[in-house]
Amino acid sequence: MNAIDRRWWLGGVGLIVLAAGLYLGAPIYVLYVANLLMTYAVLAIGLDILLGRAGQFAFAHIAFYGIGIYTTALITNNTGLPVFVGIAAGGLLAGLVGVIIAIPATRLRDVYLALSTFAFAEAAQWVFNNWDSVTKGPNGLRISPAKLFGHTITDDRQAFFLVLSITLAVIAATVLMNRSKLGRAMSAIGQSEHVAMASGIGVQRVKVTAFAISAVYAGIAGGMFTLYQSFIHPDSLGFDLIVLILTMVVVGGLGTLPGVILGVLLLGLMPEVLRNLREWQELIYGLILILAILFMPRGIWGLITERRQAWQARRVAARPSPVQDET
């Protein structure tokens, strides 16, 4: 086992120990915040696959999140099937819509890709607001308690380990994907499309695949939302959520899984700190995003990595050479 694998295993064990401590001793509200942060983590990891790994600047992510929420909620409300069926259906439907959107959208670049996907996100929110017979429109949709193996999940404590299990599975799948041929192809495209194409990578195919995987992650995150929430309103799927998730990814560190998780933890807890400044939150997030781009272009994790590498270089330089030892 190499050092990277060892760190991932230690991090996973530490997370499980922390989760067990939260489950046994934390108040319900703390568990609610933990569930929300894990949902944001899956959502942010999905966005980072598209933006940080494949270099596609797209804004449709929250639309896929909404598709996952409404699909899972409607299946839960109307069928009584186990919640995993609804979560899987939400992820697959979001992925299918993602492929349909990606085929024309990924032929665009930079600001044109951003604008086209943002237009889709706005169109999706219009559908959520106006398809009254399905989404209940501006009145919002009540979500029935999820069922699993004959057991009904009624509070955040009961949902906690299920949300944690999905989050760990997504992290593990992402680590494996990043090390795969597909993950390396995404990274190559993110660094230079022309070089990737010259290397024989099917750029358009990989872009569409990245878009689909990102959409599936967002749909799964939407399903996780229904495990501990009893109501969804279209207004909660607006531009402010896009800004929040984007800020988490950029501030934490684009293209780095530990950085994304760190960004989710830091910025996901900020609403609790800024509870009395709710009307200023979007402005504060925007300022944080601008400052991170200006002074930490590689994010917090990139800054930590640079400092660690500099420290290791100083240690190596300070070691006496074998010739000096002999003398």
Q: Reply yes or no on whether the pLDDT at 245 is more than 60.
A: yes
The string of pLDDT tens digits covering residues 105-124 is 888 877 888 888 888 998 99
Do residues 234 and 129 lie in contact, with contact meaning Cβ atoms separated by under 8 Å? yes
Domain residue extents for the chain: 3-237
pLDDT for 38 equals: 94
Q: What is the mean pLDDT of residues 237-247?
A: 85
Q: Which of 251, 259, 245 is nearest to 214 (CA)?
A: 245
Q: Reply yes or no on whether the pLDDT at 277 is more than 80.
A: no
Structural Rg of the chain based on CA atoms: 21
Q: Reply yes or no on whether the pLDDT at 325 is more than 60.
A: no
The string of pLDDT tens digits covering residues 10-39 is 666 766 777 777 766 778 888 999 999 999
**Who wins on pLDDT, 97 or 326?**
97
Distance CA 244, CA 199 (A): 36
The string of pLDDT tens digits covering residues 200-236 is 888 889 999 999 999 999 999 999 999 999 899 888 8
| SS3 letters across the chain | CCHHHHHHHHHHHHHHHHHHHHHHHCCHHHHHHHHHHHHHHHHHHHHHHHHHHCCCCCCCHHHHHHHHHHHHHHHHHHHCCCHHHHHHHHHHHHHHHHHHHHHHHCCCCHHHHHHHHHHHHHHHHHHHHHCHHHHCHHHCEECCCCEECCEECCCHHHHHHHHHHHHHHHHHHHHHHHHCHHHHHHHHHHHCHHHHHHCCCCHHHHHHHHHHHHHHHHHHHHHHHHHHCCEECHHHHCHHHHHHHHHHHHHHCCCCHHHHHHHHHHHHCHHHHCHHHHHHHHHHHHHHHHHHHHHCCCHHHHHHHHHHHHHHHHHHHHCCCHHHHHC
- pTM value is 0.88
Count of CB atoms situated within 10 Å of the CB of 19: 21
Q: Reply yes or no on whether the pLDDT at 94 is more than 60.
A: yes
Q: What is the mean pLDDT of residues 140-165?
A: 87
- Residues in CB range of 94: below 8 A, 6 or more apart: 64, 65, 67, 68, 71, 215, 216, 218, 219, 222
What pLDDT band is residue 7 in, cutting at 50, 70 and 90? low
pLDDT for 11 equals: 65
Query: Mean pLDDT over all residues of the chain?
Result: 85
pLDDT for 323 equals: 53
Distance CA 133, CA 150 (A): 29
Distance CA 39, CA 296 (A): 25
